[in-house]
Amino acid sequence: MSKQFDVIVIGGGPGGYIAAIRAAQLGFNVACIDEWKNAAGGPAPGGTCTNVGCIPSKALLQSSEHFNHANHHFAEHGIEVKGVSMDVAKMIARKNSVVKQNNDGILYLLKKNKIAFFHGRGSFVKVAEGGYDIKVAGAAEEVITGKQIIIATGSNARALPGTPFDEVNVLSNDGALNIGAVPKKLGLIGSGVIGLEMGSVWKRLGSEVTILEGLPVFLGAVDEGVAKEAHKAFTKQGLKIELGVKVGEIKNNKKGVSVAYTNAKGEAQTLDVDKLIISIGRVPNTIGLNVEAVGLALDERGAIVVDGDCKTNLPGVWAVGDVVRGPMLAHKAEEEGVAVAERIAGQHGHVNFNTIPWVIYTSPEIAWVGRTEQQLKADGVAYKAGQFPFLANGRARALGDTTGFVKFLADAKTDEILGVHIVGPQASELISEAVVAMEFKASAEDIARICHAHPSLSEATKEAALAVDKRTLNF
């Protein structure tokens, strides 16, 4: 007799473990299956985000930022530091410790919420009476049965055809987080989020970094003004960014990697590097899920087909996060996970895709919510724009980082905020105010009339809102 559950969640990443917790809070008997292993072979829930994504990358970004400050910025504060060196092994060990704390935290939360945790790969067996049989293949094999199934199996790094990841010289996000020594020359294919963040880390630590991007524009999804400012800042830092390239043959040998490509002018070039990070997007992960056994529908990208409520084509089967349509963001997965658990309970869970914030944790940070200026133009929306530079912000001056600006886009008639775009210090934190404002359908005037603490970076947000009506006070 298999173990019976009201809800089985396959995947313990941000979408999965949060869905499991919310379902347990709503009174369901819940199981969560996850196969991630730590170095000792034990469970390591948290998915890509905790293990080889958002969390470890932020740990390395923080370490490299400290190193950069000690080398280049302490002196202007009157702090004299001599003989600064970087122990890469120690930096990686700290990163691993941060990851472990997260893993352990999630295991504790599952236990606290009385969720049965199964360590192994979950896959469909068959439609069973009143639900579905799910096989867990871990140290041992067992079958459990669930009335409702939530699939949260995430995504995998997209490989370049003919160039598999060996995680030694040709790296995905996984290998990029575990480089054992600072590479003299580092190449990146793709100027996506992961590529830029990892490029920033190793550039600060002394690598010569070249980014090859196939698109003719830099950060095409970002507001054009922000992308230009970021490109200027990254180039100034020494990141070499080549746009409009066509990548040809890639040779991986013991000494390093050789990339043949043609540049935007059509000239044949070769890039020789010690390590190559490929960051060309991610693909939905349904490996080993055995969707055929129950007839679960996938689309042409390999994503699980869902409707607006995250329902699949099968009754009682739901899917959330990177394995379905929409942005591949941890916080989007979490919101979907909560919404699905609430829908199973007969409530009206909701995710507003228009107010999901995006962040790139480079230096300067880039963050935005809502529509870009180019999207508003394409849609023929009449809008007003207001912008305020951190150069005119007292707190940014005191921090010693005045790169970038805050930009507001508001409806020309109603003044409703349609998008907020930030490039500069602490953009990841500043964007939250804009998300709240947009969720409450605030106008630019509303933000302009709200008192912001002085001196704070958030004053740049208020001033950008004032700029919509061309009445900034400090610029």
Catalytic (active site) residue 119 = no
pLDDT in tens, 104-147: 999 999 999 999 999 999 999 999 998 999 999 999 999 999 99
Instruction: Check whether 383 has a pLDDT greater than 90.
Output: yes
* 304 three-class SS: strand
| Lookup: tokens for 220 | 């095409």
Quick one: pLDDT at residue 192?
A: 82
Q: Which of 72, 73, 350, 454 is catalytic?
A: 454
Question: What's the whole-number mean pLDDT along residues 148-158?
Answer: 98
Quick one: pLDDT at residue 48?
A: 97
pLDDT in tens, 5-47: 999 999 999 999 999 999 999 999 999 999 999 999 999 999 9
Instruction: Check whether 1 has a pLDDT greater than 60.
Output: no
Residue from 172, 207, 186 nearest 56 by CA? 172
pLDDT in tens, 248-268: 999 999 899 999 999 999 999
Pairing of strands 155-157, 256-262: unpaired
pTM of the model: 0.97
Domains of the chain from N-terminus onward? 3-156+283-351 (3.50.50.60), 170-280 (3.50.50.60), 355-467 (3.30.390.30)
pLDDT in tens, 69-100: 999 999 999 999 999 999 999 999 999 999 99
% of the chain beyond a pLDDT of 70: 100
Alpha-carbon gap, residue 417 to 409, rounded angstroms: 6
